[in-house]
C-alpha cells in the first residue's frame, strides 16, 4: 500500500470521525463493499483523473485509486488529500481488507450498498408486500434505506458480506 499526501492522518485519528471515501471509476465494487462495512463511499465518474484529486481535497475524502499515475501528481491543495493505491488485480474482498487493515478500521453499522444511505429498522408488517414470500417465512428483521428506500434483510448475501468484513477487520 502506498499512501501519499501531506499530513496523512494517523489511523487513530479516524476514531471520532469515520473517513469518507472517494473511489475511482474502476473501484465501484469496492465502494459498495465499503458501504456494507458502514462507510460513506462515492465513486467518481470515468477517467476523471485530476478532478478526483480536487474532489477528494474539497470534500475531505480519502481517495482510493488503482491508477498509480494519479498518485504521482501532487494534490491541488497542500496537505489536503490522503490517497491509497488499491491493486486492481485484487478481489473486492482483498481490496476491502487492505483498506480496513491499513487505516485500522472496524466494521460499522451497514449502509445501503447501492446509495450509501443509512439503513433503518422497519416493522415487517409495513413492508410485507415487498418481501419475497419465502424470505418472509424465515426472517423477521427488515431495514429500509433512508436514501433510496431499498428493502434489506439479513439474507445469505448479507451473511457472506458480514463474514468477509470480519475477516477484513481481523476479528
Ligand atoms: Zn439506498
| Residue 93: φ, ψ to 5° | -60, -45
> Which tops the pLDDT comparison, 134 or 170?
134
d(CA 166, CA 114): 21
Cα 75 to middle of ligand 1, angstroms: 31
Query: What confidence tens digit (pLDDT) does each residue in 1-38 have?
Result: 444 443 344 444 565 689 999 999 889 999 999 999 99
Cα 1 to middle of ligand 1, angstroms: 30
Cα 38 to middle of ligand 1, angstroms: 12
Cα 155 to middle of ligand 1, angstroms: 17
Query: What confidence tens digit (pLDDT) does each residue in 33-92 have?
Result: 999 999 999 998 766 677 888 888 888 899 999 987 777 765 555 556 788 999 999 998
- For residue 79, what pLDDT is reported? 59
Classified as helix, coil or strand, 75 is coil
Query: What confidence tens digit (pLDDT) does each residue in 107-117 have?
Result: 898 999 999 99
- For residue 171, what pLDDT is reported? 62
d(CA 108, CA 127): 25
> Residue by residue, what is the 3-state secondary structure of 135-152?
HHHHCCCEEEECCCCCEE
- For residue 128, what pLDDT is reported? 95
Cα 110 to middle of ligand 1, angstroms: 11
d(CA 145, CA 148): 6
Cα 35 to middle of ligand 1, angstroms: 10
* 162 confidence band (pLDDT: 50, 70, 90): confident
Q: Based on the number of CB atoms within 10 Å of its own CB, is 8 exposed (0-12), middle (13-18) or buried (19 or more)?
A: middle
Cα 67 to middle of ligand 1, angstroms: 28
Q: In what order do the strands lie in the sheet with 82-85?
A: 3-4, 82-85, 62-65, 21-23, 41-43
Task: Check pLDDT > 70 for residue 148.
Answer: yes
Nearest to 24, CA basis, from 58, 61, 79 = 61
Contact 147, 116 (CB under 8 A): yes
Amino acid at each position: 500500500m502506498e499512501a501519499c499526501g501531506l499530513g496523512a492522518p494517523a489511523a487513530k485519528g479516524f476514531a471520532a470521525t469515520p473517513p469518507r471515501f472517494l473511489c475511482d471509476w474502476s473501484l465501484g465494487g469496492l465502494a459498495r463493499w465499503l458501504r456494507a462495512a458502514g462507510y460513506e463511499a462515492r465513486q467518481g465518474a470515468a477517467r476523471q483523473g485530476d478532478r478526483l484529486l480536487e474532489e477528494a481535497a474539497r470534500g475531505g475524502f480519502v481517495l482510493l485509486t488503482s491508477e498509480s499515475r494519479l498518485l504521482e501528481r501532487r494534490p491541488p491543495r497542500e496537505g489536503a488529500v490522503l490517497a491509497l493505491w488499491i491493486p486492481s488485480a485484487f478481489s473486492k474482498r482483498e481490496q476491502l481488507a487492505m483498506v480496513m487493515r491499513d487505516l485500522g478500521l472496524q466494521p460499522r453499522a451497514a449502509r445501503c450498498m447501492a446509495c450509501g444511505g443509512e439503513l433503518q429498522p422497519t416493522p415487517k408488517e409495513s413492508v410485507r408486500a415487498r418481501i419475497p414470500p419465502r424470505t418472509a417465512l424465515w426472517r423477521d428483521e427488515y431495514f429500509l434505506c433512508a436514501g433510496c428506500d431499498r428493502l434489506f434483510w439479513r439474507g445469505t448475501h448479507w451473511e457472506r458480506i458480514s463474514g468477509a468484513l470480519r475477516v477484513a477487520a481481523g476479528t
